[in-house]
Amino acid sequence: MAKTMTKSKIVAHMADKCGTSKKAANMFFEELFKLAVREAKGAGKFVIPGLGRAVKRHNKARMGRNPQTGEPIKIKAKTVVRLRPSKQFKVAVLG
């Protein structure tokens, strides 16, 4: 299986393809991250066209079970972030 690309390799690839410096490409990714965090905190979702969306979701409290003992336990309510791929991305990856 192929190794996943590191951040520095992604930045170098994008800088090469876009004809910009690595510093500018790195700054783009940092600003994209900051924007995604700000929008997800406020609006509850952030969309990257063609790639997918990050959605903030609230999970209710529920009853669970300890897998080792089988004893019922209470799982607290919490807010989570879901990364949902777009249909276009899924079709491109899965065929």
Q: What is the pLDDT of residues 38-68, one digit of tens each?
A: 999 999 999 999 999 999 999 999 999 999 9
Task: Report the pLDDT averaged over residues 89-93.
Answer: 95
33 pLDDT above the threshold of 80: yes
90 pLDDT above the threshold of 90: yes
Residues 6 or more apart from 42 whose CB is under 8 A from it?
none
DSSP category for residue 44:
S
| Residues 13, 84, 66: CA angle, nearest 5 degrees | 120
2 within 8 A of 8, measured Cβ to Cβ: no
Q: How high is the pLDDT of residue 9?
A: 94
Q: How high is the pLDDT of residue 2?
A: 79
Q: Is 83 left (phi over 0), alpha (psi -120 to 50) or beta?
A: beta
For the chain, what percent of residues have pLDDT higher than 90?
Answer: 94
